[in-house]
Amino acid sequence: MHLECMALKQILPLLVLTFSWALTSTNANGQQFKREGYLISGAIKGIDSGRVRMLSANGSSILDSALIVRGKFSMQGKIGMPERLLFNISPGNWNFRAFVEDTSIKLFVDTTGAQHQGKGTNKWALIWEIEETGSAIADVYTQYKKETNQKYYVSIISSLREKLKAVKGNTDAEAKVTREMDSVNNLLLASQKAWIESYIHQYPSSIAGVYLFNEYFQTYQYYQPSPDISFSYLDSILNRFSEVATTSVYYKELSDKANNLRSIQPGNLAPDFTLLQRDKSKFTLSSTRGKYTLIDFWASWCVPCRRAIPLWKEVYDKYNNKEFTIVGVSSDRRWNDWINALKKEQMPWVQVIDEFPNESDPALVTKSFGTNGLPFYVLLDKEGKVIVSSNDKDVVKEKIEEIFQ
């Protein structure tokens, strides 16, 4: 998938584990040893005073906080299971992520080049430049970024994003730059995949390994159609982990993801759902039984999703009288954004809007179908069983044509 639909930050759920990890932890490669708790000493370049809060990974709860005095802060407590958490700095609504485990950790946070987002009261800034020492998992993460040349690739992608802005409105030029971006993304992802798989082979009990694979797997879905987001690939990697790695929040998240992907394997009955239509009446997916049904997961802000709409209009017009229909499921968080897009696009099929458990969680139904990336398509037979699922519109269109030929 193209970068237009890539989330600016990935949010991971919090899983609190309350067994023997209170007084033990692991190094990056899975070895256990005694620890008393974490001691975080931080220095922030560009912010002299305020408050820093350590939040759960999805930002839903505050785990610790400290005052910033002359650009420095300190936190002390117990985390139990190591985890990469979200930190928020106020005033200014600055955000960054860092690994926390029960050891002495030093953080250097540089606000230079922070990515500012939003407007008015919704303004926030994402800080990229973080130096962390003391955390064994952070050490592995730093090594990983260095040896996969992420800084080099990210710099190229950033320049291409600026180039894309400059040619906005020129369809041919936009397509050319987008292809360049996809090519660079593919090179980066191939490098990451090789490094992570090698690391997991050497250290199957490593929490660092399961964290890296989780990050890679989640990110991969935003870039392109690929067998590497398949259930079989994920399941094969999950079976390689052992011991402490299988007790981490990241293994739990990957296992949940595998279960969702399993449910949309060809031949399986698709998860049923009930969501609101534009008139706020309820629509249930199983009501389409008796027709071939294409579920189009999209959003008003997703450029590739909306570029595909003319194609689906053609498909709908061609096969609507042949026991075929489409159901659009929007991942818009704001109702008005969705309604305005519907008014503009004038899609003649059923449209519903997804639900969000809270502000930071992904769309509930979309997630249950095994994807975090858009667009995503699931084609069902007359019994509601999955025929094919893909984020490649051409793959799905070909299958539809094959059915009705």
First to last CA, the chain: 29
Domain(s) of CATH 2.60.40: residues in the chain: 3-134
Distance CA 51, CA 333 (A): 29
**What is the tens place of the pLDDT at every residue in 237-283?**
999 999 999 999 999 999 999 999 888 999 999 999 999 999 999 99
- Chain segment 145-174, per-residue pLDDT in tens: 999 999 999 899 989 999 999 998 898 999
CATH of domain 3-134: 2.60.40
Task: Identify residue 194 by its one-letter amino acid code.
Answer: A
Report how far Cα 20 is from the mean position of its chain's Cα atoms.
Answer: 30
Selected residue with higher pLDDT from 371 and 112:
112
Cβ-proximal residues to 109 (8 Å cutoff; 6+ apart), any chain? 42, 43, 44, 45, 96, 127, 129, 130
> Confidence band (pLDDT; 50, 70, 90) for 236?
very high
Which amino acid type is present at position 6?
M
CB 19 within 8 A of CB 244: no
Six token digits for residue 266: 């060809």
Contacts for 392 with CB less than 8 Å, ≥ 6 apart: 225
The per-residue pLDDT for 322 is 93
For residue 328, CA distances in Å to 354, 366, 403 come to 10, 11, 21
Fold of 274-404: Glutaredoxin (3.40.30)
User: What is the length of the chain?
Assistant: 405
Q: Are 336 and 33 in contact, with CB atoms under 8 Å apart?
A: no
Is the CB of residue 246 less than 8 Å from the CB of residue 253? Answer: no
Quote the pTM value.
0.78
**How many whole angstroms separate alpha carbon 387 and alpha carbon 403?**
10
pLDDT at 122: 78
pLDDT value at 336 more than 70: yes
pLDDT tens, residue by residue, 44-83: 999 999 999 999 998 889 999 999 999 999 999 999 999 9
92 dihedral zone (left: phi>0; alpha: psi -120 to 50; beta): left
Q: How confident is the model at residue 186 (pLDDT cuts 50, 70, 90)?
A: confident
pLDDT exceeding 90 applies to what percent of the chain?
A: 74
**Is 218 a residue whose pLDDT tops 90?**
no
Residues of the chain within CATH 3.40.30.10 domain(s) are 274-404
- Token pair 């037979």 is at which residue? 381
pLDDT digits (tens, 9 = 90+) for 307-329: 999 999 999 999 999 999 999 99
- Supply the pLDDT for residue 368: 92
